[in-house]
Each structure stands twice: as structure tokens, then as C-alpha cells.
Amino acid sequence: MESVLNFPGEHFSRKGGELHLGAVRLADIANKFGTPLYVYDFDRIRERALNVTKAIKSVTNASRAYFAVKALSNLSVLRLAHQQGMGMDVVSGGEIERCLAAKIPARDIIFSGVAKSRSEIELGARAGIGCFNIESPHEIELLSEVATLTGQKLSIALRVNPDVDGHTHRKINTGPSDTKFGLSPDLARAISRRVLSDNKLNLRGISCHIGSQILDMKTFATAAKEMRVFASELLEMGAPLKHIDMGGGIGIAYKPSECGSVPIFDDWVSVSKGALPRPDMDLYLEPGRSIVGDSGLLLTTVLDIKYGEKKNFVLVDAGMTELVRPAMYDAYHHIEPLVHSENLKLQKYDVVGPVCETSCWLGEDVNLGDVKIGDVLAVLSAGAYGMTMASNYNTRPRPAEVAIENKRVRVIKNQEKLAALWADELTLLGD
């Protein structure tokens, strides 16, 4: 008997009580590759990337979605997103190099993020990236110097902080004026005059980003209104604006109860294009989590079970080194056993990892039934900000990554070898 699992989407299913992703039995993947292990449904990623590309092309033909590389930066994922028409949104020189290694044309890259170094700006300029999203007056001076050095005219957009609350977790809320991100409107106006007087710089757009994991479309509408007003001012000043970049931030369902609250791409585009002061201007968006978040999961094996006076604990082989979001943001991830028994007895456990920190946990008060040592659990909606934020704390190698595509399973990153963790270290004492 086959039943469709309603959460987080129809790419998950249970057949005979066993969890499948992309119509592939996850237990087979765990048995073959071991755990901890990241697993991604590439068919789902392709569908999501293609859907946002189609939605934004309804604005203008040159409007484009740029994948937020920080969400999931595996080279195969970048290639897949690009093949569906997405550009790349990067926030470091390392991410520029990653995109180039994935054979992404430099012109399809935009460089966002605070505290860009001169070497990173020079790297982007020499590579020929499409646009720099600027966040400080100092960046303008660096760009002007680099443009003179390289003999190029560089395209830029000013990242404006519209002072809009994204109503999300405070650590991923980037729209209010008391964060490190963006330029105040007054500062952006002053900088725009400086840019317009520099024949080495081309002010082609403005951008903003109000936060991440946003489910309320009203916040995007408010930000769009602020951006439209500011863009109109710049146009009156003679700025040759071609696009408005409304950033990313659209959320996914981490809890079953959130499934009905997740915005669709068409609605996001419809609200965001309210930022355009003219119909011939292009709209840019920077989705990341919404492309890969519910397309991926983390498999982990039960190593031990401890029954305490106040809590019961399931100890697993993945923790904050593999998925730091629960420790960093108190984030919820739905956890499912790969096999559901017919006589499921609900019993609550805290699912905790092996790292020597109290904060090393993956789930609290999780109903797992008659869980046993050796069982494999699936931590759902872990495709975004999972592997990219993984660490080697406690000298733990980062896990492998595998992709499911058209029922075929492929390794897209091998597990790190332990010796690689200290290969670059130097011992100053003798043998």
C-alpha cells in the first residue's frame, strides 16, 4: 500500500511504511553510503528553479532569479540551477571561485554582501562578473580604484536598507536599520551622486534584502513600495537604472502546520514587481532556501538511547557539526524514522548529537515510537544552510552528499577524509 506523505511535499512518500525521496527508498541509500549523509532530490530542485525562472520572466524578458550560493554551494547544484536559467548571487570571493569552477559564466554572477575586500573586488572585476551590490562608501572607492587599474567600467547596484522588519528570526532579519546590512536612503543618495560623477562606474540598479525565511508577503510589499520611491528619486537625478533587485527571503515549510502558509513564486514576483517605477525595468530576485530547502534531508543513525528522570535522549551520529541551525537559531526540523512500524507507540525523545556541547541537538520532544539502536532517522527540510554551514569541530569530517535524479542515485561530494583535516597544519616541534 502506498501513501503520500503530505509533508514537506509530494516528492516524499511512504511505501509499506518506508520513507522514499524521489521514489527512491532512503534505507537503501543509508545502507550503501552510510551516515551522516546529505541527500538531495535534484528533480525537485530543477522544478523549483524552473518555476521561479518562468515566474520572473513574466515581468520582462531580462528579469532574472539569482540563486543564493550560500544556501547550498555544491558544484552540481550550481550547475543544475544555472541550467534552468538562474544566475548566481555570491557573498565572497570564494563563492565567485566556486561558480567559476562550476563553469558558470562570470557575467551571470552578482556580488552581494558586506565587507568586500579589495582582493575580492579585484577578483570579480577581472573575472567580469555582472554586477556588484554595494553596501558602503568605502566599496565605491575600492571599485573606482580597481576599475582604473583594470581599465574596465564596472556595473554596480546600491543595496538600500529600507528599514523594513521581515518578521523572522532576529539572526536572519536583515531589513531593519539597526543591522549591518545596506545603506540608509540618505547615505545611498549621497553615494549615488558620487557614482554618477565617476565615468568608471555604471549605476545600473538598486537592491535590498530584508531577511530570510519570510512567509508574510506583506513585508515584501512594504519593502517594494520603499524601493519604488527611492528608485524614482534616482531616476530623476539622471541615474541610468536598469533593474531593481528585491533580494531573497521567501520561506519554506519546516513544520507541517506551515505548509499552507508558504508563498508561491508567482505571488512573490507579483508583489516584488511593485518596486519597479517603470514597466521597462527588470526585476531581480535572489532565492536560495526556497529552491533547495525542502529538496534535501540529513540521514543519521541512532547510536544510543538514554532514559533520564526528566527526558529521554536518542543519540545519533549527526549533530551541530552537520546541521548547526538548531543550535544557532533554535530552528525546528521535522524528524522522521525511515521505517514506521504498524504498532507505532508514540514516545518523546530529544534527538541529540555526539558533539561535546549541550547545544548539539537536532530536535526536542520528537515522537519516534519504538526507536532502536541502529535505526536511521531523516532530518527533513535540511537542503538549505545545512552542508554549507557544516564544520569540523571535534575533528569531525563533513559528510558526503548524494543526489537523486530520475531515480538514479549519484555521489556529488565524498565524505572528507580525516587526514585532510590536519594536512595543512605544521608541527614546529621535532619528531
The CA-based dihedral angle spanning residues 172, 175, 178, 179, taken in that order and rounded to the nearest 10 degrees: 50
Judge whether 122 and 150 are in contact, CB under 8 Å: yes
What type of residue sits at position 277?
A: P
Q: Which of 99, 208, 259, 356 is catalytic?
A: 356
Q: How far is CA 203 from the centre of its chain?
A: 27
Half-sphere exposure of 141 (CA within 13 A, CB side): 3
Judge whether 72 and 381 are in contact, CB under 8 Å: no
Helix (H) or strand (E) holding 363, with range, is strand 361-367
CA distance linking residue 186 with residue 203, whole number of Å? 17
> Interior CA angle at 319 toward 365 and 6, to 5°?
55
CA distance linking residue 315 with residue 319, whole number of Å? 9
Q: Is 356 a catalytic residue?
A: yes
Q: How far is CA 230 from the centre of its chain?
A: 28
CA distance linking residue 131 with residue 152, whole number of Å? 13
Which letter does DSSP use for residue 92 in this model? Answer: S
Residues whose CB is less than 8 angstroms from the CB of residue 225 and which lie 6 or more positions away in sequence, other chains included: 274, 275
Q: Look up residue 175 and give its three cell numbers.
A: 531589513
CA distance linking residue 390 with residue 376, whole number of Å? 20
Distances (CA, A) of 201 to 65, 191, 407: 24, 12, 48
Q: Look up residue 71 and give its three cell numbers.
A: 544556501
Q: How many CB atoms lie within 10 A of CB 264?
A: 14
Residues labelled as active-site residues: 356
